[in-house]
Structure 1
Amino acid sequence: MSDIIEELRWRGLIEQSSDLDAIRAQLAQGPVTFYCGFDPTAPSLHHGHLVQLLLMRHLQRAGHRPIALVGGATGLIGDPRMSGERQLHSKDVVAQWVTKLRDQIGQLLDFNGDNAAIMVNNLDWTSQLSAIDFLRDLGKHFRMGTMLGKEAVARRLSSSEGISYTEFSYQVLQANDFLELYRRYGCLLETGGNDQWGNLVGGMELIHKTEGAQAHCMTTPIITKSDGTKFGKSEGGAIWLNPEMMSPYAFYQFWLGTEDADVIRLLKIFTFRDRDEIARLEQAVAERPFAREAQKVLAADVTEMVHGQSALENVLAATEALWGRGELSTLDAETLGAAVADLPAPAEPVELGETTIVDVLVASGLVKSRREARQTVNSGGAYLNNVKVDDEARVITSDDLLAGGWVLFRRGKRNLGVARAEG
């Protein structure tokens, strides 16, 4: 790619930089080693981390060498938040989370070839740093005025809670990471989210003060929706990449629900679709918004990238089957359970051989009364596992159960409900 910086700007992946022209020139001269850090503050990465990993993949595809740093040391400390002091997790918990994050990152970067990615843990060098070394060799290069002026620190200092020395020292440790990677691998560029700008600059300046070398930093924007609100919240919280914390089905549905006003911008950020393809999808949004073609491409691309082709195929099969365009019996219990998790359901499990279609329609709230339920059945509007039911006395039996003990029912074309058998 002749100008990777221009490509990143077009995709909306650059917010601030130390000197964009200098970074462009440096990247044009030959392979540059760069890094981004990921702290294990939870057992999974989320969509915000995915933005950083996609930036890294773009740079790697352009011939540059990425270093993914998992913060086994900084994760024990915690980057200062605006809202208050972080809870300190045990060393064993943080170590477990380091392993989980390394596994996730390992699926999203290329660790083979001439510019193979490198994975490091800052605990390897930070654990060797004595208190005297920390104060004498690192602390002397930091000025209190600059450290106190950082937005998160200033906000916390003005609050009733204040800020501990533990979190206040975080910026020194992160700066030291950049210095260590410069010394070990010749790393010249650090990337991160825009909320990390102060920490990134601290590392760049530390390299200049200690080594007399010019390094650079560059941030991605905080992703927002067209209405200005922060992008990436679901009813369950963050958009986690760990399938145990957010199922591939729920993950796919989140991206599928993107608003028309946001979808083209998110396609640029979260996929590798080229300019011609994105222009075509933009036209499709304008001319055929009801088809939601751009949203389907976005959801499929991101789901496949994070969870793999097999998981995407399961999700698409579940989506089709739920609405009568596929075979429900082929779905596994995990996929089906995720797909029906938010559907209306009776409070009590069905009793096989006793519970009728009328019972579940009423108990789930899809109809208001038994009379309405009977009318629905008699008019041909009731379905059990996508098969029309014409007998209001029809009972649910073991033969009706899908994987996981589920049974799906529907009123009309769009009103789905689900029930589960005991045991």
Structure 2
Amino acid sequence: MTYAPKSDFLTQLIERGYVADCTDYEGLDRALLAGPVTAYIGYDATAASLHVGHLLNIMMLRIFQKTGNRPITLMGGGTTKVGDPSFRSDERPLLDDAAIQRNIDGMQKVFDRYLDYGPGAATMLNNAEWLDDLNYLTFLREIGRHFSVNRMLSFESVKSRLDREQSLSFLEFNYMILQAYDFLELNRRYGCQLQMGGSDQWGNIVNGIDLTRRVDDKVIWGLTSPLLTTSDGRKMGKSAGGAIWLNGDMLSPYEFWQFWRNTTDADVGRFLKLYTELPLDECDRLAALGGSEINLAKVRLANEVTALLHGPEAAARAEATARAVFEQGGAGGDLEVALIDAAALSGGLSVVQALVRSGLVPSGKEVKRLIAEGGLRLNNEPVTDAQRMLDADAIGEGLKVSIGKKKHRILRIG
């Protein structure tokens, strides 16, 4: 991107790596300078908690508010009844009203940590307010006529599903029309001029912009963030143990802290810029630390992210617990170290081979049994794949191996 923004919001987002694409950088930048602007991100209530995959866009809303603008968190009480088919291989299970409301209540706990709600501040809305009572024939005549089925079929989120010959129900096909209608309604009711979301929502966002132009002759904008994967190719927010939930009753602050502490070296600098509020020069300084000192950056990352979500005291407790478990083995003495030959590791070893070679587990059969029973953890993260590979980067200055609940060792290269 060659455009150099002048507004504080766009400048911060671009410098910190939040932006994948925008429908009109210059037009949005001018609106932000004239500000304040109202923007929204939509969240369907498909689970009782948001997860780490949502955190990037939550941070965007936080920056949006801190730069003097008005964020809307739109709960999909209506659209959840349909289900977003984007890049999915099957239809989402349908939830009843009570389950949807429970999920919205759970998600609100997270937003309360990152945004200030109230008069003139952030607003939480539910699209069931205007979707639940739509008159079907009126909606088809006034809204549906503006959508080309040919164009809808061309969007990658739909096309990829059809190309794989996987069923797409008529119910799901309506989702993109309803999301576009959300943007139109938010513009009419609240003067909302911007929708943000992950880059997988680009087609849905463009639909809303086009609909609003056609129906009300209004100019509005869309801004997307990249869909992040970690340097080892995993989708951000996923681990061997499942989703990294943001609600403390679904994932403890300690486990959340550990997720960030276990960040790979290559991801530290990027994650510091995206998930903390540290100045950019401090992020760069920490990312440049070499050798074992990079672990200081990982602890800083874990503390900063955990403090934002769960509070500074929870972050401090998590770090203290981690030090007790990792450095003293949780029982007052240093953890024993098991060595693995560097030459054997040069080509990469499966976790089964590595633990047998190190002498930590007597046989590959025993390692596989531990994995199958959920009894093996690496840096406190459950191992579920016996084919998982370990190399020098994965072991680093020391990889904590937990066998069952009481046996802990440090695996090192030697």
For the aligned pair, the TM-score class normalised by the smaller chain equals 0.7 to 0.9
Partners of 1:298 and 1:226 in 2: how far apart? 16
1:310 deviation in Å? 3.0
| CA apart distance, 1:175 | 0.7
Question: Which of residues 218, 222, 230 in structure 1 aligns to 2:223?
Answer: 218
Q: Distance in 2 between matches of 1:58 and 1:183?
A: 24
Q: Letter of the aligned partner of 1:88 in structure 2?
A: L
Q: Which runs of 5+ in 2 are unaligned?
A: 1-5, 333-358, 363-403
1:9-408 alignment runs, 5 A limit: 9-80=14-85, 81-112=87-118, 114=120, 116-283=121-288, 285-286=289-290, 288-323=291-326
Query: For 1:349-403, what per-residue CA distance to the aligned partner results, in whole angstroms no more than 9, with x for missing partners?
Result: xxxxxxxxxxxxxxxx9687xxxxxxxxxxxxxxxxxxxxxxxxxxxxxxxxxxx
- TM-score w.r.t. length of structure 1: 0.75
Q: Which is worse superposed, 244-253 or 9-18?
A: 244-253
The whole-number CA distance in structure 1 between the counterparts of 2:165 and 2:284 is: 50
**CA distance change for structure 1 residues 297 and 255 in 2, over 3 Å: closer, same or farther?**
same
Gapped runs of 5+ residues in structure 1?
330-364, 369-406, 416-423
> Who wins on radius of gyration, i.e. which is larger?
1
What secondary structure is seen at the aligned counterpart in 1 of 2:116? coil
- Cα deviation, residue 64, structure 1: 0.6
Are the equivalent residues in 2 in contact too, given 1:40–1:98 (CA < 8 A)?
A: yes
Normalised by the length of structure 2, the TM-score is 0.76
Matched-pair contact (CA < 8 Å) for 1:281–1:294: yes
| 2:287–2:294 CA contact under 8 A, matched in 1 | no
1:87 Cα offset (Å)? 1.5
Deviates more, 1:158-167 or 1:105-114: 105-114
Letter in 2 for 1:216: W
Cα distance in structure 2, aligned partners of 1:17 and 1:86: 29
Greater mean deviation of Cα atoms: 270-279 or 289-298: 289-298
Deviation sequence 1:133-188 (CA, Å, 0-9, x none): 22112101111111111112112223343210110000011111111110111000
Confirm or deny: 8 A CA contact 1:317 1:326 kept in the other structure. Answer: no
Is 1:271–1:301's contact at 8 Å kept on the other side of the alignment?
yes
Aligned length: 339
1:188–1:216 contact (8 Å) kept in structure 2: yes
Distance 1:23 1:260 in 2: 35
Q: Which amino acid aligns with 2:106?
A: K
Aligned partner of residue 217 in structure 1, secondary structure: strand
* 2:149 partner letter: M
Amino acid at match of 1:190: Q
Deviation for aligned residue 1:409 = 5.6
Cα offset for 1:2? Answer: 4.8
Aligned counterparts of 2:405 and 2:20: Cα–Cα separation in 1: 47
Q: In 2, Cα distance between the equivalents of 1:296 and 1:129?
A: 50
**8 Å contact 2:265–2:294 — kept in the other structure?**
no
Following superposition, the deviation at residue 18 of structure 1 comes to: 0.4
In structure 2, distance between residues paired with 1:289 and 1:54: 29
Aligned partners of 2:303 and 2:316 also within 8 Å: no
Distance 2:182 2:97 in 1: 19
CA offsets, 1:11-46, max 9 Å, x none? 110001101121111111120001110111111101
Give the superposition deviation at 1:197. Answer: 0.4
Amino acid across the alignment from 2:114: L
